[in-house]
Structure 1
Amino acid sequence: MLDNLPRGTIVIEDLEIGMMRHLTKQITDRDIELFAEVSTDRNPVHLDDAYAQDTIFEGRIAHGMLTAGLISAVIGEQLPGHGTVYLGQSLKFLAPVRPGDVVRAEVTVMEIDYSRRRVQLKTECLIEGKPVLKGEATVLAPSAKFD
């Protein structure tokens, strides 16, 4: 399950403070398995039900960076979109994400430095309206002057 939202680019000249884009995705067992394979992070809290039951989470959880990857998808596909270069990202993990959870990743424009093409973004992931991840990203936005 993934929102079919418009993809493309919003160039820096068209960005405004408060602009927001999002995507919603249900995290599946397959997502977790593929992320483990690609990242080589095979921590059993993500992959082994019996092991995960005996942790503070009392069950399997998704990799935190899998959840954070949804933020990257919003930035790279929607806001600002294609041609954006990540310069930095802070993350604070507030709650676990479990297989089957529906995560909404939101990105909101907080500050724009038009002369340097730098954009400061509020980044957040939520489950049922409750934040599970918060942070900020700094990106180099694409410009109409460089097309």
Structure 2
Amino acid sequence: MLDNMPRGTIFIEDIEVGMTRSLRKVVTDEDIEMFAQVSTDHNPVHLDEAYAKDTIFGGRIAHGMLTAGLISAVIGEQLPGHGTIYMGQSLKFLGPVRPNDMVFAEVEVLSIDLTKRRVELDCRCIVDGKPVLKGQATVLAPSKKLD
């Protein structure tokens, strides 16, 4: 299940500090398996329940970068949206995301540099009211003005 705000573009000229956008997605077994195929990360903590039961997590977890990908989806589809270019991202993983968890991914505008078209974003993912990921992103936002 994917629940999100409308997709498209918010141009740098229309972005405001404090603006937020988000999505909600249930992370499925299929998502984890597809991410393993695409990334070539077949760590058994993600794919093998018997193996994962003996880890600190006590069971399978989603790849951290799969969760971080939800932040990328919000940035690339909503804020700023289509045409956005990633320049940098910091991430801190705070807790596991398990199969069938509903992840709430949100970005918030921290600052805007109109002359450089740069936007600093606070990024977070939450499961059951608990933060599982936080970080900041720097992006190059699309402009209404042609370069």
TM over 0.5, shorter chain: yes
1:113 aligned residue: 113
- The normalised TM-score by structure 1 is 0.98
Q: Which residue of 2 aligns with 1:128?
A: 128
Alignment of 1:6-85 (within 5 A): 6-85=6-85
Calculate the aligned-residue CA RMSD, in Å. Answer: 0.9
Alignment partners' CA distance in 2, 1:116 and 1:128: 37
Tell me the TM-score normalised to structure 2 length: 0.98
| Partners of 2:89 and 2:133 in 1: CA distance | 12
Moved over 4 A (4+): none
How many angstroms apart in 1 are the aligned matches of 2:77 and 2:42? 28
- 1:42-73 CA deviation, whole Å, 9 max, x = no partner? 00000000000000000000000000000000
Amino acid at match of 1:109: V
Q: What count of residue pairs does the alignment treat as equivalent?
A: 147
- Segments of 5+ residues of structure 2 without an aligned counterpart are none
Q: Percent identity?
A: 74
Distance 2:44 2:111 in 1: 40
Shift of 1:5: 2.0
Amino acid at match of 1:68: A
1:13-65 Cα distance to aligned partner (Å, 9 max, x none): 00000000000000000000000000000000000000000000000000000
Q: Deviation string for 1:92-143 (max 9, x for gaps)? A: 0000000010000000000000000000000000012211000000000000
SS state at 2:145 partner: helix
Q: Secondary structure at the match of 1:73?
A: helix
Deviation for aligned residue 1:4: 4.2
